[in-house]
Structure 1
Amino acid sequence: MKKKTRIALIGLGSFGRKIINPLRYFHIPNEVEIVAVCDTNKGIVKEVAEDIKKDNPNIQWFTNHKKMFEETTIDLAYIATSPSSHKQIVLDAVKKNIHVLCEKPLAHTAQEASEIVAETKISGVINAVHFHLNYSPAVKKFKQLIDENFLGELKGININMYYSQWPPAWQQNSWINTRNEGGFILEQGVHLIQMIIKLFGSIDRVQSEITYKDDRTSETGIIAKMFLKLGTPVLLDGLTEVSAEDTIKITAIGTKGVIVFENWKDLKAGTTGQPIENVDLPHPSTSPWIMRHVIDAIHNKPSEIYGFDVGYEVQKVVDALRSESSDWITIEN
């Protein structure tokens, strides 16, 4: 019988819980097993452990990840805690030769992300950041259109992020609206930055201005200018508490056409002089999800993963966007 991949979930907020059902339904019973769950909230961790016990009868629960690593045999740790805790948990896992899938952002700062990358390279464990957009039909089609020269010469990229409220109702926790660890740039903008780097190459320079309501809560707005290494300008604007439908959009503008990625899953496109129309996409089930790729990588099968080095490159840009300086910041690549 094939050996099961033994998985531990660390952090049982909105993201930590969201991964449970896909693990149940996207993998055959003899392929994976959740052997442990961990959260500092004892009530929550006990509740979650009890809920998934019928599918994972040997599950254990912990309120301390180090104790869990010591007392449980784990192949893969999924980390969904606050950004400032990522570094220590990742490094503790790496010391135990545990493979890691970490929520974005990889760390609290680019410096911490750099340290994570260095330690992980020494260990050789499989490592990935949860940049889930890479596996979506819309992003795959976006890449195909670029490769087919649909845009022609790329002239500019616009990013729009508008929220009627932050955080969204489904994404509530104790830190996501704090100035130190939360905000839409750090929590969602990181996906869009990674997507742009994947599709168009490295970002070279950043200049931004951020507005805050007070010195405790996360940003209420941002206006930023960036340049790709190839010289193309990227403009970003974001606002919270606006009387409009929540909007996430990337618009790539070229000499021959325009491509619009919208609201995490939709794609529109049009050529010069023609209307911009919806692009037909395959059902998401046709594209394996991130955990499928991570597990395949652990078993030395072909896979598509975006490792901690990618997380570090994105973190440098996000740090620059969130900096207190309004001067141009050069991104060291």
Structure 2
Amino acid sequence: MTLAMPKSGEPPPVRPIADAPSRADRAFRRITTGAGLSVLALLIVIGFFLIFRSVPAFQVSGFGFFGTIRFDPATGVMGVLGLLYGTVVVAVIAVVVAVPLSILAALFITEYASGRMRGLLTGLVDLLAAIPSLLYGLWAFSFLGPYLTPVAEWMTGNLGWFPLFATEPDAVLFNSMFVAGLVVSLMVIPITTSVIREVFVQTPLGEKEAALALGSTRWGMVKTVVLPFGRGGIIGGAMLGLGRALGETIAVSLLLPQVPEITTHFLEFGGATISGFIANNAGATGIFLNGLMAAGLVLFVFTLATNFTASMIISRSRSGAGVDA
């Protein structure tokens, strides 16, 4: 068999390439598509269930449900504003504390630690993420809380001129949103560290070596190459940690009195979150249960909106676009 040679001056013949997926490829695609659609269907079912069970509460409270601080169905007053406020405050405190520590931990693991230490620290971080939140809550309630009280006293004594650290005279500085936020940050750190570390590892080696070859120090290389590349991972880890903090239940139910209120005195005794309030009143019935369902619906929508916003921000970043592609 001889191949036909192209005539002089003519381009070589183009062989068509057929990209026909195999049977295994088609089966794998159907499985992954079904898994993705199942997750979407599950979210839709949960959303409709919460809406259906929340209707009686909205019929009683109307739009005032979103602007009322108190939550007391016995008196006909139900509102989610105080619970939502406490949820956001605790989550923000947790993220503000956890994200800088997570970035530093991820940088040390990927850029400074030796090979053996890197594997050990990676395993320890993953192990911290597997500890149940109940253990964090019990440990904080019985051991860590008393040690944080002097810290709160020092902050209100030396930084009380700032409204966020001011307290009333003779205020109780235990079981506060500040303590709850610090404890939740301990549960957020492993998750954010793992996400940020995975993105830092993907930094192009050529760009790092080029920065060092041009005379940059290790910190200069990290500042000009690693951190800009990992911006999407940092945002993604922070938002994932925020979602974890917003939904934390057991620890905050043990550490907070679950009394809805709006206050700037974060160091004082008091506060409540949606998930913790629901957990403490899990045996409710009637309109009280409908009100809890409505509060859960608000948390559900708020968490979805947070994650959706994070995905939009990540997709516009360099590292996020690379991962999505």
TM-score interval for Structure 1 and Structure 2 normalised by the shorter chain: under 0.3
Name which structure has the greater RCO, CA cutoff 8 Å, separation 6+.
2
The structure in which a higher percent of residues are helix is 2
Q: Could you say which structure has the larger radius of gyration?
A: 2
TM-score, length-scaled by structure 1 = 0.24
TM-score, length-scaled by structure 2 = 0.24
